[in-house]
Structure 1
Amino acid sequence: MSNKENTSEEIDLGQLFKMIGDGFKKLFNLIGNIFKGIFHALVLFLQYIRAHFIKFAIAGLVGVGIGWYWDSVSDPIYRSNMVVEPNFNSVQQLYNNIEFYNDLAKEKEFQSLAEALGVEQELASTIKKFKIESFSDQTQRIKQFSDFISQLDTISQQKVDYEDYLKNFNDINSRFHKITVEATNPTVAKKSQRSIIRSIETNEYFQLQKKINELNLSVQDSVLTSQIKEVDSLQGFVKKLKLLEANKAESSTSISMGEGKSDENLEIQLLNQASRFKAEIVALNKERAKTQNTINIISEFPQKGVRVNEFFRKKKVLLPILLIGLVLITLSLLSLNSFLKTYSNTKA
């Protein structure tokens, strides 16, 4: 009986191993067929390129020639960057203004653009593009997340993590933003800088926010200064009491505030409180400096922009690629048309 069971188990195991082997064989054959198909398609494509190589070469040479001439007669493009830090939630207005300038440049509304930027129309006509984007790295985002968390209550802090914060993070949430101007005149960006900033600063809403912020900071500064004076008075009072206690240590009518340790603890507490108030004043001064302007300029536009010399923006590079692509599409459509005609005749 046991011999039959062993034989049956050996047969089952043999069938199992055979099935596994067949499965691997099919998998390897499938992978091999895929690679063969890719190789075959590559060979056909290379044969197709070889058959029409002269056409592609002519298209490429024509594109290089036209592109080189186009580059030589075109005015060079200069790029200027400025990094700013908007305050009082003015970043959305800044983005809207930059998009408005860019639309005017695209539509060639140079008179309106010149009026908006406070420059001559001739200078405004040299502007090709306006762009604004966030300017932040991982360190800045972590710091912004820390500042955001510190403003929440304990329960809300437990419900928000860094990953959730990043999912809802967009360009407007960034602290710094980079404004880019591309123009054929290298100085137009610098001449437009003041008007770009003033377009935000002259906004009545932001002016009101700035005024309220200054009043709030002044009130906080007065309160902290008053509290520091009170702490200084208490420290002087404690010192006088200690002197009285030292002079009348043996008198039964001496004024006492308790044990020496209590006096020391009180002095330490007053010193710590004074240090905290002074630290708050330092932070207040930093906040006052940061919010002195509606838009803080971190890095101004340079006096002259940098010439744009990117490889894939050159016409002598783009045109050959474009013409070769057009030739490839045209020949492919012709080949497809011939195949369809042959296929139709065969079926008929």
Structure 2
Amino acid sequence: MSENSSKNDTPEEVDLGQLFNAVGKMFERFFRFIGSIFIAIFSVFVFALKAVIVHVKIIASVLLIAFLIGFAYEKTKDPVYFGRMLVEPYFQSQYQLSNNIDYYNSLIGNESHEILASVFDISTEDAEKLINFNLETGPETENDLLREYDKYVSSIDTTTASQINFKDYKQNRKLFDSKIFAVEVKSRKQDIFRDLNQGFYESFKNDYSIILKNRRDSTIALKRRTFKRSVKQLDSMKLVYLKIKEEEAKNGSGKLGVQGMIPITQEKSDTKEYELLQTELRLRDSIRFIEQEVIDKNMYYDVVSKFPEIGKKHKTFFSKYSLLFPTIAFIILCVIFIGLKSITYIQNYEK
């Protein structure tokens, strides 16, 4: 009976059974591998916890000593204060600002406090209190970024614009793509920041920015003269059409001919007068626009907010030595423990 049943098994049924067995073994190996990972993690955790429990007195003593040293150092060290100024540069002056900040930091690093004091017109003692300068992106809202993105997309060709979405645009923005910049200064003197404002105002002006501003002013002056000349010509043309309309009214006719010239109909004069009025309005709007541009960007920068009178305390984890020193001490203990265990393992490896 069993021989008959074995003979009746088709090759397809045998292959399917082998496939199920292979899949089952694969899942078994996979779950065994996952389990081994969890077991390894648990073993490491227990091993580390055991080391802490065994050496708890040594660890507690070292951490306590490190805390006391860090706390004492924190109390004796002068606190660090910071102040921030927000500026909106024009005429590519943000590059000069960045170079000047690097220059100021180099003066601090070289301890050239007299030069730094002359730059900001402060005392040498106050210059020695300065720690560093930093240039960052100013605050930006999502709407500001969307407006910048729309302006950028409209300035490039359609094919390239279709390949750049808003997310890619945000990720690829650099520091100098910003509109507003934040200048941050750290110092050990709390009321030094307002004295730095005037020195920073001179940081924006450079030869390149002056050239760009002069070029902009010359272009606007040329446009203004052209627009005003066109407005005068339109005024003259309007007077001509007014005279034509007066002649039409006197003659009581819908058209007027002058010395054999082509007659100008009433309908035609009305249409031209309206078009002249629309053209004049557009020209005057253009004049107002360029004059507004000169008013808005007549300087090399705009100060959105000045440095504060009193700086705020700069508090970070790395400035809290009562926490930083114990953390470093614990890391050193871990490295020493792992090193000793590794040496012991290597020495007993072949035994």
TM over 0.5: yes
- Asked whether the equivalents of residues 248 and 255 of structure 2 are also in contact (C-alpha less than 8 Å), the reply is no
Shift of 1:341: 2.1
- Asked whether the equivalents of residues 190 and 303 of structure 1 are also in contact (C-alpha less than 8 Å), the reply is yes
Q: Distance in 2 between matches of 1:235 and 1:12?
A: 98
Q: Residue 302 of structure 2 corresponds to which residue in structure 1?
A: 296
Q: Residue 160 of structure 2 corresponds to which residue in structure 1?
A: 159
Q: Distance in 2 between matches of 1:102 and 1:214?
A: 34
- Asked whether the equivalents of residues 77 and 185 of structure 1 are also in contact (C-alpha less than 8 Å), the reply is yes
Listed one character per residue, the Cα deviations across residues 160-202 of structure 1 (whole Å, up to 9, x for unaligned) are: 454575565321222221110010112322212211221432x
Matched, 1:313 2:319: yes
- Asked whether the equivalents of residues 87 and 295 of structure 1 are also in contact (C-alpha less than 8 Å), the reply is yes
TM-score (norm 2): 0.83
- Give identity over the alignment, percent: 25
Shift of 1:241: 4.3
Shift of 1:331: 2.2
SS in 2 for 1:89: coil
Shift of 1:125: 0.6
Residue in structure 1 matching 2:88, options 38, 61, 85: 85
Q: In the comparison of the two structures, how many residue pairs are matched?
A: 338
Residue in structure 2 matching 1:212, options 209, 212, 215: 215
Change (3 A) 1:84 1:252: closer
Listed one character per residue, the Cα deviations across residues 197-229 of structure 1 (whole Å, up to 9, x for unaligned) are: 21432x344333323322222222232333344
Q: Distance in 2 between matches of 1:276 and 1:7?
A: 90
Q: Residue 332 of structure 2 corresponds to which residue in structure 1?
A: 326
Change (3 A) 1:16 1:206: same
- Asked whether the equivalents of residues 141 and 174 of structure 1 are also in contact (C-alpha less than 8 Å), the reply is no
Q: Distance in 2 between matches of 1:169 and 1:39?
A: 44
Give the counterpart letter for 2:222 in structure 1: V
Residue in structure 1 matching 2:35, options 29, 32, 39: 32
TM-score (norm 1): 0.84
SS in 2 for 1:207: helix
- Asked whether the equivalents of residues 136 and 174 of structure 1 are also in contact (C-alpha less than 8 Å), the reply is no
SS in 1 for 2:190: coil
SS in 1 for 2:176: helix
Give the counterpart letter for 2:174 in structure 1: N
Matched, 1:222 2:222: no
Shift of 1:20: 2.0
Shift of 1:32: 1.5
SS in 1 for 2:349: helix
Change (3 A) 1:295 1:253: closer
Q: Distance in 2 between matches of 1:263 and 1:22?
A: 96
Residue in structure 1 matching 2:174, options 170, 194, 215: 170
User: What pairs up with 1:1-348 in 2 under 5 angstroms?
Assistant: 7-135=10-138, 137=140, 138-151=142-155, 156-160=157-161, 161-163=163-165, 169-201=173-205, 203-235=206-238, 237-238=240-241, 241-242=244-245, 245=248, 248-250=251-253, 253=256, 257-258=264-265, 260=267, 266=272, 269-344=275-350, 346=351
Give the counterpart letter for 1:92 in structure 2: Y
